[in-house]
Structure 1
Amino acid sequence: MILGIDLGTTHSAVGVVDSGFPILLADEDGKRIIPSAVWFGKNGEIEVGRKALRRRAVDPSRVVTSVKRWMGTEETTDVALGNVGRSPEEVSSKILKELKRIAEWRIGAEVEKAVITVPAYFNDAQRAATKKAGELAGLDVVRMINEPTAAALSYGLDKMKERSRVAVYDLGGGTFDLTVLEIEDGVFQVLSTHGDTRLGGDDVDRMISAWMRDGLGEISHDVAVKFTEEAERAKRVLSSEDEVTIRIPFYDGFSSFEKTLSRGMLDTMVKEWISKSIKCCRQAMLDSGLGVEDLDSVVLVGGSTRMPAVRDAVAEFFKKEVDVTQHPDEAIALGATIQGGVMSGAMSKMVLLDVTPLSLGLETFGGLMNVIIPRNTTIPCKAGEMFTNAADGQEKMSVRVLQGEREMAKDNWELGKFELEMEKLPKGQARVGVQFKIDADGILEVLAREISTGKDVIVHIQSSAVNVDDAAVEEMVSSSVEHAFEDMSERIFTEAKMKADELLPAVEMILAQGLVENEERAEIESSVKEVKLAIADHSANSLKAATQRLDSATEAAAARLVEKAMEEALAKQLGI
Structure 2
Amino acid sequence: MAKVSINLTTGSIQKEDIIVGIDLGTTNSLVAFIDPNGNAKVINDTGKGVLVPSVVHFDANGEVVVGNEARDFLIQDPQHTIFSVKRLLGRSYQDLQSHEAYFSYRIIDDANDESLVKIKVGDTFYTPIELSALILKELKARAEHALKTNVNRAVITVPAYFNDSQRQATRDAGKLAGLDVLRIVNEPTAASLAYGIGLNPDEQKTIAVYDLGGGTFDVSILKIENGIFEVLATNGNTFLGGDDFDRAIVDYWIAQNNLSGEIPMQELRLKAEEAKKALSHQNLFNEKIGDIFCTIDKQTFESLINDKVQETISACKNALKDAELTASDIDEIVMVGGSTRTDLVKKEVSAFFEKPVNDSINPDEVVALGAALQADVLSGNRKDILLLDVTPLSLGIETMGGLMDTIIPRNSKVPTKAGRQYTTSIDGQVNMKIAVYQGERDLVKENRKLAEFELKGIPSMPAGLPKVDINFLLNADGILRIQAVELRSGVKQEVDVKPTYGLKDEEVEQMLLDAVTYAKDDVSQRMVVEAKTEGDQMVYTVERFLNKNGSFLNQEETSHTKELVTKLKVAIKNTNKDEILSAIDALNEYTRPFAERLMDEAVSQAMRGKNI
CA distance in 2, matches of 1:293, 1:206: 34
CA distances 1:392-436 after superposition (whole Å, capped 9, x unpaired): xx983899xxxxxxxxxxxxxxxxxxx9752599xxxxxx99652
| 2:249 equivalent in structure 1 | 208
Do the aligned partners of residues 41 and 77 (structure 1) sit closer, same or farther apart at CA in structure 2, a change above 3 Å counting? same
| 1:78 equivalent in structure 2 | 105
4+ residue runs over 6 A deviation:
449-456
| 2:547 equivalent in structure 1 | none
CA distance in 2, matches of 1:192, 1:285: 7
CA distance in 1, matches of 2:209, 2:458: 53
| 1:282 equivalent in structure 2 | 317
User: How do 1:475-554 residues align onto structure 2 when only pairs under 5 Å count?
Assistant: none
| 1:176/1:197 contact within 8 Å kept | yes
Do the aligned partners of residues 131 and 311 (structure 1) sit closer, same or farther apart at CA in structure 2, a change above 3 Å counting? same
Give the CA deviation at 1:28.
Answer: 1.0
| 1:420/1:448 contact within 8 Å kept | no
Aligned: 1:396 with 2:430: yes
Say which SS state the counterpart of residue 162 (structure 2) adopts: coil
Amino acid corresponding to residue 52 of structure 2 in structure 1: I
Give the CA deviation at 1:246.
Answer: 4.8
RMSD: 3.9
| 1:448 equivalent in structure 2 | 484
| 1:234 equivalent in structure 2 | 275
Say which SS state the counterpart of residue 239 (structure 1) adopts: coil
Do the aligned partners of residues 124 and 174 (structure 1) sit closer, same or farther apart at CA in structure 2, a change above 3 Å counting? farther
- Of the three residues 265, 284, 294, the one matched with 1:224 is 265
| 1:189/1:352 contact within 8 Å kept | no
Aligned: 1:322 with 2:361: no
CA distances 1:329-386 after superposition (whole Å, capped 9, x unpaired): 1100011111111122122363589xxxxxxxxxxxxxxxxxxxxxxxx9973289xx
- Of the three residues 194, 204, 213, the one matched with 1:163 is 204
| 2:456 equivalent in structure 1 | 422
Percent identity between the two aligned chains: 40
CA distance in 1, matches of 2:346, 2:458: 63
| 1:171/1:200 contact within 8 Å kept | yes
Aligned: 1:21 with 2:39: yes
| 2:172 equivalent in structure 1 | 132
| 2:153 equivalent in structure 1 | 113
Aligned: 1:34 with 2:30: no
Amino acid corresponding to residue 25 of structure 2 in structure 1: G
Say which SS state the counterpart of residue 141 (structure 2) adopts: helix
CA distance in 2, matches of 1:438, 1:103: 37
Aligned: 1:306 with 2:349: no
Output the TM-score relative to the length of structure 1. 0.59
Say which SS state the counterpart of residue 189 (structure 2) adopts: helix
| 1:177/1:194 contact within 8 Å kept | yes
Say which SS state the counterpart of residue 156 (structure 1) adopts: coil
Gaps of 5+ in 1: 250-255, 354-377, 385-393, 400-418, 426-431, 440-444, 457-461, 464-576
| 1:175/1:196 contact within 8 Å kept | yes
Give the CA deviation at 1:191.
Answer: 3.0
Amino acid corresponding to residue 448 of structure 1 in structure 2: A
CA distance in 1, matches of 2:213, 2:368: 13
CA distance in 1, matches of 2:191, 2:20: 16
CA distance in 1, matches of 2:53, 2:254: 25
Give the CA deviation at 1:105.
Answer: 1.8
Amino acid corresponding to residue 128 of structure 1 in structure 2: Q
Do the aligned partners of residues 218 and 84 (structure 1) sit closer, same or farther apart at CA in structure 2, a change above 3 Å counting? farther
CA distances 1:414-472 after superposition (whole Å, capped 9, x unpaired): xxxxx9752599xxxxxx99652489xxxxx984177689799xxxxx99xxxxxxxxx
Aligned: 1:197 with 2:224: no
Give the CA deviation at 1:60.
Answer: 6.0
CA distance in 2, matches of 1:27, 1:279: 39
CA distances 1:153-211 after superposition (whole Å, capped 9, x unpaired): 11125862543332111111122222222334533333332222222212222333333
Give the CA deviation at 1:52.
Answer: 2.7
CA distance in 2, matches of 1:93, 1:201: 25
Amino acid corresponding to residue 136 of structure 2 in structure 1: L
The structure whose Rg is larger is: 1
Output the TM-score relative to the length of structure 2. 0.56
Q: How many equivalent pairs are there?
A: 388
CA distances 1:281-303 after superposition (whole Å, capped 9, x unpaired): 11222233332222222111110
Aligned: 1:99 with 2:134: no
Aligned: 1:259 with 2:316: no
Say which SS state the counterpart of residue 282 (structure 1) adopts: helix
| 2:89/2:169 contact within 8 Å kept | yes
| 2:483/2:495 contact within 8 Å kept | no
Q: Which moved more, 1:71-80 or 1:111-120?
A: 71-80
Do the aligned partners of residues 57 and 177 (structure 1) sit closer, same or farther apart at CA in structure 2, a change above 3 Å counting? closer
